[in-house]
Amino acid sequence: MPPIELDARASEAARVIRATLPEPPQVALVLGSGLGALADRLADRVVIPYAQIPHFPRPTVEGHEGNLVAGSIGGSPLLVLQGRFHYYEGYDLDEVTFPIRVLQRLGVRTLILTAATGGIALSLQAGSIVCLEDHLNLIGANPLRGPNDRRLGARFPDMSEVYSRRLRTFAYEEASQLGLDLASGVYACLPGPSYETPAEIRMLRTLGADVVGMSTVPEAIVARHAGLDVLAFAVVTNAAAGVSGGLISHVEVVEAGQAATPRLGALIERFVQRLDAEARPLPQQQ
Ligand code: HPA
């Protein structure tokens, strides 16, 4: 039997989700390592375990739960992917980015990605939050490799503004209202799972990277291919290798992610409310 096409798999997954969520939110959030508790901020939650969604992979990493959670944050609807899939787990990039295809089929328009990262720029510390302005795809593969299905997107999608300037402006404005320091930076995506060596971090700094991680970029590429607007927040959970001389552990990464969750949550809440307000028509003039 030939494999089921990506479009058919995504449509089937979306159909099953719609049986529980007939009108899914148009804004979705992907949670990175240690940031899973952000889903707890949602009111009126409806939880769909990934295991109940056809064709969805299952996360294997500690700190990543596997649930699609719908609800509202500060009164605005939001769909949360609590748990993501990484290339280093052994999934291919089609699997890693499958949830993004399902979001496309659900009618999601805006995608917010979050990630735990190592800080390369000396101005960043553990706990810093960085709004991504661009990325370096250093995974050594591209999720769009292979025959292109035109129903899903263009063969050669433009990547000159992966992270929407308009959405970044909203994020900075809302951060400033909160009195929260929001840095801006370039994310280098490596395949992992080993953390980088100090020499690799020096190389990444030379290449123009401010933070380093093992996720986000495949999802951002597919989201742009799918026509979604993308915004991404990196939480710096540790100084990258060789930057402070300390060793890096996954436990430290998860704990630092958890410590930053309330601040990131407050920012995301305001951002989602802002998007909601911008999408509403202006009140009629009398
Ligand atoms: N390197 C790569 N990925 C990471 C790091 C890091 O230092 N910290 C959190 N995710």
Mean pLDDT, residues 220-239: 97
Query: Separation of 212 CA from ligand 1 center, angstroms?
Result: 6
118 CA closest ligand 1 atom index? 7
* Catalytic residue list: 33, 64, 86, 88-89, 116, 214-215, 238, 250
Q: Using 50, 70 and 90 to split pLDDT, how confident is the model at 271?
A: very high
| Domain ranges across the chain | 3-278
Whole-number Å distance between alpha carbons of 258 and 116: 10
Pocket of ligand 1 contains residue 131 by CB under 6 Å: no
Model pLDDT for residues 52-63, shown as the tens digit of each residue: 999 998 766 554
pLDDT, residue 41, reads 85
pLDDT, residue 284, reads 65
pLDDT, residue 125, reads 92
Whole-number Å distance between alpha carbons of 256 and 263: 12
Whole-number Å distance between alpha carbons of 236 and 126: 5
pLDDT, residue 283, reads 65
Model pLDDT for residues 98-113, shown as the tens digit of each residue: 999 999 999 999 999 9
Q: Using 50, 70 and 90 to split pLDDT, how confident is the model at 33?
A: confident
Query: Separation of 96 CA from ligand 1 center, angstroms?
Result: 18
The number of beta carbons lying within 10 Å of the beta carbon of residue 259 is 14
Kindly state which CATH superfamily the domain 3-278 is placed in. Nucleoside phosphorylase domain (3.40.50.1580)
Q: Using 50, 70 and 90 to split pLDDT, how confident is the model at 252?
A: confident
Q: Give the residue whose CA is nearest to atom 9 of ligand 1.
A: 117
Whole-number Å distance between alpha carbons of 95 and 49: 17
Residue carrying structure tokens 């989700």: 17
Pocket of ligand 1 contains residue 248 by CB under 6 Å: yes
Pocket of ligand 1 contains residue 117 by CB under 6 Å: yes
119 CA closest ligand 1 atom index? 7
Residue pair 155/145 in contact by the 8 Å Cβ criterion = no
Q: With 80 as the cut, is the pLDDT of residue 168 above it?
A: yes
Pocket of ligand 1 contains residue 240 by CB under 6 Å: yes
Q: Give the residue whose CA is nearest to atom 3 of ligand 1.
A: 213
The proportion of the chain whose per-residue pLDDT surpasses 90, expressed as a percent, equals: 78
Reported pTM: 0.94
